[in-house]
Structure 1
Amino acid sequence: MLSGRRILLVVAGGIAAYKTLELTRRLRERGASVRALLTRAGGEFVTPLSLAALTGDKVYSDLFDLTDEAEMGHIQLSRDADLVVVAPATADIMAKHAAGRADDLASTALLATDKPVLMAPAMNVRMWEHPATRNNLETLKRRGIRFVGPTQGDMACGEYGYGRMAEPEEILTAIEAQFRTAGLLTGRRVLVTSGPTFEALDPVRFLGNRSSGRQGHAIAAALAAAGAETTLVTGPVARPDPAGVTTLHVESAEEMLSACREALPVEVAVCAAAVSDWRPAQVAEQKLKKGSAAAPDIALVPNPDILAELAQPGPHRPRLVIGFAAETEKLVEHARAKLAKKGCDWILANDVSPATGTFGGDETTIHLIDATASESWTRMRKQAVAERLVQRIGRFFSGPPMSDTPADAVQRGVAE
C-alpha cells in the first residue's frame, strides 16, 4: 500500500513530537519515502539528526535557506509529496493554516501544497476544547483537511482528556486509508442522508431527536475524498457542509424524501439520517399557548420511510442501498429484521443507549449486516467508520462485498 509513496512529514512543537520518530520508522519499513520538515518549536523536542537518520534524507526547517530555495523551493518541497502529514498538529499550526498565514517553512509549505493533508492534533485538553481551536478545526475540515485523533488520556501537563496525539500505528492506518480510498469511487454517483428531521408542531415547536449528523457528514466527506460525486441531504445540524459535496438542507422527513428523489439516479445510497418515525397530523398556524387546561392531545401520523422507498425495486434503485439501525437493545437481531423489512442491502447497526455517548459523540461501535452474514467493528471514531465503509463500498464494486482479507474473515461471524 505504501511502497513508493512519498510523505512530507511536518513535525511541529509539542511533547508528542517524539512519536514521529516511530512513525517515520514504520513508514520506511513499508516502503514509503519520508522527507521531514521540522519547525523551530519542533526542534526543541526532537533533533534534526534523529529525523535525518530515520528518513535517510535532509531535514528542512528554514524558509530563508537560499541554497534550498535554489535547489528545490518551498513550493516544490510541498508538491513533491503524495501526502502531507502534520504530526503533531499543534493549536498554533492549525490556527496558522486556518488563517492562511505563511510566516515559516511549515505554514508556507502547507499553504503552497496541492496534495492531500492529514493532521494528527496534539495539545492540552483545554486548548483542544477552546472555541478558537474548534472553529479552526471545522474550517480546516471544510477545506478537505483530514484528521486522525486526538485521543483521550493522561497528558504530560498532568491533565486528562482529549488532546493526546494518536499513536503511530493509528496514524499509519489513517495514512494507508488515505491511499486506499483515493480515487476508489471516481465517477460514481452517491447519495447520503444525515442528521435529524424536525417535524413542526406549530411555528415554534417541533418533534426531533438528538442526532448530530457527525456520522452522516463524515461518510459524505469520505465518499467525496474517494472521488465519488456526492450529494448530501441533511436535516438541521450544527455542522459545516463537507468539502467537495453538494449539500441540500431540509427540515422534515417529507422534505428529505423529496430531495432524495431529486438526487436520483445514484449508484449508492447511504441512509444515515435519524428520520422521525412520526409527525403531527396537523400543524398549528399559531403558537400553542399553555393555559389552565390539560396539555393538548397531539395526533401523530407515520412519516415516509425513506430507506424503504430508495430500496424498492425499480429502474432508479441504487445498486447498493445502505441503512443504519440505531438501537438500544438486541442490535443484531433488530438490525436483521430491519434489513428484511426495508429491502436494503446492508445495515450498519449501532448502540445509541445514553451510556454509549453515540448520539452527538465522536465514537461508535458498528455491526455491518447483509443478507447472510454480520461482522463487528471495534469501537472507533466516526471518521474511521466512514473510511472503512468507503473501502467496503469500493470492494462491492470490484468484487464480493463480504469476502475480503483474512483479517476481515476473522472478524466476520455468521449470523444466527
Structure 2
Amino acid sequence: MSRFPSRVPPALVLFLPLALCAGTTSAADELTLAAALARAEAQHPSLEAQRALARVAESQVLQAGLRPAPELRLDAENLLGSGPYGSVDRLETTLGFSQLIERGDLLARRVDSARAQQALQADDSAIARLEVRAEVARRFAHLLSDQAKLAITRETTALAEDTQREVERRVSAARSPVAERWRARIALERARLDEEHAEHELLASRRHLAAAMGQAEADFGEARGDLQRLPEVAPVEELLARLESAPEALRYASEVRLRESEWRLARSKAKAGVTLGTGLRRFEDGGDTALTFSASLPLWQGSRQRGAIAEAEARRDQGQSERSAALLRAQAQLYALYQEMNHARVEFEAQRDRVVPAAQQALEQTRYAWERGRYSLLELRDAQAEWTAQRSRLIEAAAEYQSQLIEIQRLTGQLTLPSQAGAAAP
C-alpha cells in the first residue's frame, strides 16, 4: 500500500521545512517581521532621504531667524571727468555703512513660516516611515504565503510520486490498463511543474521583501510568522474616528498651518522696511572730511504685495478644502477595506473549519477506495487536485485578511505586527 501523509493541522502549514536552491537554512538565519522592520528603518534609502530633509528644514529655520546683513559701501565721485575733474584733485570718496530695519513682525513671521515647513516635513517623514513599514509587512505576509504554498506543492508532488509508483505496480501486475501509467506520469509532471513555479514565486517574494527592507540581496533565511492567526479588529466606527489623528490627516493640518503662516508673512511684507546709512566722506582738494547720513523707503510696497497676499489667502483656503476632501476619501476607503477584511475572515474560517477538512476526508476515502479497485485513477486525481486547491485557497484567504488589515493600519497610522504571534490589531 502506498504512503499517504498524515493530516497536518492548517495552523502548522507555515512551519513546514523550507529548502531553497542553496540548501536548508538554520534557525539562526530565520527572519521575523520585527527584524525585517528594524532592518528597513535602519537602512531604507527613502528614510535616509527623509532624515536629510529634516536637517534641511532645521537649517531653513536657522536661516529664517537671521536679520538682514548690514552693508559696507565705498563711493567715488568726480573721477575721470573733463576740465577740472580730469584729475583726482577734486575726488570725493565716501565709506558708508547701511542697515535695513525690518518693520513690524516680519522676522517672527518668517521664522513661523519656516517652523511650519519643518512641521510639515516631520509629517512627511512619519508618513514615509509608515509607508515603508506597511510595505515590509505586506511583503512579509506575501512571503509567508508563498512559503506555505511551496510546502503544499511539495506534498502534492509526494502524493503524485506515490500514486505513480502504485500505478506502475498495478500495470505490471495487469491490474490496471497501460493508459493509467501515462495519466499518472502526466499528473506527476504537472505536480513537479507546479512545485517549480512555487519555488520561483518564493524567490521573487524574497527579493521583493529584501527591496522593501532597503537591500539588494535576500540575505536572510526562512521567514517565521503565523499567517493564519487573524487578530480581532476594533469596530469600524472606532477606526474611522482614528483617521483624524492619522499621519495623513496630521500632514494636511500642518499644511493648513503652513499656508496660514505664509499668508501672515505676505501681509507682514506689505510693511516696507527702512534702510538707514551713515558714512565718512573725504574731499581730496582740501583734505577735509565730513559725515554723511541716508535713509531710503520703498514706495507703494503695500500695493505691490496685494497679489502675493491674495495668492497666500487662496492657498490657505485650498488647503482647508483639500483636508476635508482627503478625510472623506480615507473614510470611504477604510470602510471598503473593513468589509473586504471581514469577508476574508469569513472565507478563511469556512475553509479552515469545513472545506479543507471535507477535502481531506474526501481524498482519504477516495484513496482507500482506489487502492481496492472501486474508484478510477481519474477520480483519485480529482480528489488530490481538490485537496491541493482548497488548502491553497485557505492560505490565500489568510493572506488577503492580513493584506487588508495592514492597509487599514496604514490608513489609521497604527501599524503593528499582524503576522507575528501575540501581536495586537488596531
- TM (normalized to structure 1)? 0.21
Higher relative contact order (CA 8 A, sep 6+): 2
- Bigger Rg, structure 1 or 2: 2
Provide the TM-score with structure 2 as the length reference: 0.21
